[in-house]
């Protein structure tokens, strides 16, 4: 009887050891898979610099997480269409940048030399159309529409935006309309610079101004007809205005064109 009990106990111990080894092997496998997924998270190879920049970690593939994109179920996939899983590491969830970015309309560029991932969008064309004219500008960057009509477009991100508008001129004419606009702006803005410029072959009034929370550069452009004028405005959050985006307005206004 004692011998049988000892045999049963030994079998349970052996079973427990096997189970423990199996669990440990599974966790180790998940950690290895997670490391591989992290290494290839951008869809590219590790490259020659891998040994010097990569750090081994223990992480887990989290099969329980569901992702919705604009209310629709979304499956993470690599550039080859293979399914990917979210990674759980130290209580935080990590998603593959390329899969998420491209699903939201952004492109991901990978520079192996500097090991830099760049997210960007193609140029967006904003066009205003009336019975009298058709004009357009192009904008680059991670901006989304916040206001869209046939004659007015506003695109913005978390600190910068652009407004493009076609406005009907009342009976007082272009110069009087713009003069009244400027007087209104002076009530809540500090005018830094104001001058006459040409945008292509059209004359315009350029204004660089500052408000309590934003730096704004704009131009009122006289149309080739007497019934309307065009406004192009770039606004940047005051705390984010710097040399890096100082020429944002110039880049936008350089794309202004008439298409009819």
- How is 203-252 classified by DSSP, letter by letter? EEEEEEEE-SSEEEEEEEEE-SSTTEEEEEEEEEEGGG--TTTTTHHHHH
- Return the C-alpha torsion angle 232, 255, 244, 121, nearest 10: 100
Q: What is the pLDDT of residue 25?
A: 45
Nearest residue to 232 via CA among 152, 143, 124: 152
Confidence (pLDDT) at 53 = 73
**3-state secondary structure at position 1:** coil
With left for phi above 0 and alpha for psi between -120 and 50, is residue 95 left, alpha or beta?
beta
SS3 assignment, position 37: helix
Average pLDDT over residues 200-215: 96
Classify burial at 248, counting beta carbons within 10 Å of its beta carbon; exposed 0-12, middle 13-18, buried 19 or more: buried
- Report the predicted TM-score, pTM, of the whole model to 2 decimal places: 0.61
pLDDT at 23 over 70: no
Q: How confident is the model at residue 154 (pLDDT cuts 50, 70, 90)?
A: very high
Question: What's the CA gap between 161 and 140, in Å, rounded?
Answer: 11
Is residue 80 very low, low, confident or very high in pLDDT (cuts 50, 70, 90)? confident
The pLDDT of residue 31 is above 90: no
**CA angle (30 as vertex; 25, 31 as ends), nearest 5:** 95
List the one residue out of 219, 258, 211 whose CA is nearest residue 239. 211
Domains, the chain: 13-117 (no CATH), 124-258 (3.40.1000.10)
Whole-Å CA distances, 164 to 3, 106, 167, 211, 241 = 90, 23, 10, 19, 20
Residue 68 predicted with pLDDT over 60: yes
| 8-state DSSP, 77 | B
| pLDDT band per the 50, 70, 90 thresholds, residue 248 | very high
The tens digit of pLDDT for each residue in 109-134 reads: 888 888 888 877 778 999 999 999 99
Radius of gyration of the chain (CA): 30
């Amino acid at each position: 009887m004692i011998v049988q009990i000892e045999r049963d106990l030994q079998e349970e111990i052996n079973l427990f050891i096997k189970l423990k080894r199996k669990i440990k092997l599974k966790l180790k496998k998940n950690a290895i898979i997670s490391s591989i997924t992290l290494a290839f998270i951008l869809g590219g190879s590790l490259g020659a610099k891998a040994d010097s920049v990569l750090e081994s970690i223990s992480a887990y593939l989290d099969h329980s997480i569901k992702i919705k994109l604009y209310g629709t179920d979304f499956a993470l996939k690599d550039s080859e269409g293979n399914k990917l899983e979210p990674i759980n590491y130290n209580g935080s969830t990590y998603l593959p940048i390329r899969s998420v970015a491209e699903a939201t309309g952004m492109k991901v560029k990978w520079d192996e030399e500097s090991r830099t991932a760049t997210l960007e969008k193609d140029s967006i064309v904003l066009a205003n159309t009336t019975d009298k004219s058709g004009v357009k500008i192009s904008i680059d960057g991670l901006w989304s529409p916040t206001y869209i009509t046939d004659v007015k477009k506003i695109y913005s991100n978390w600190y910068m935006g652009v407004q493009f508008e076609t406005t009907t001129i009342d009976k007082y004419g272009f110069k009087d309309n713009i003069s009244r606009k400027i007087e209104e702006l002076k009530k809540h803005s500090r005018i830094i610079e104001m001058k006459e410029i040409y945008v292509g072959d059209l004359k315009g009034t350029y204004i660089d101004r500052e408000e309590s929370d934003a730096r704004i550069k704009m131009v009122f452009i006289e149309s080739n007809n007497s019934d309307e004028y065009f406004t192009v405005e770039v606004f940047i959050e005051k705390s984010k205005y710097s040399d890096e985006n100082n020429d944002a307005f110039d880049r936008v206004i350089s794309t202004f064109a008439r298409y009819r």
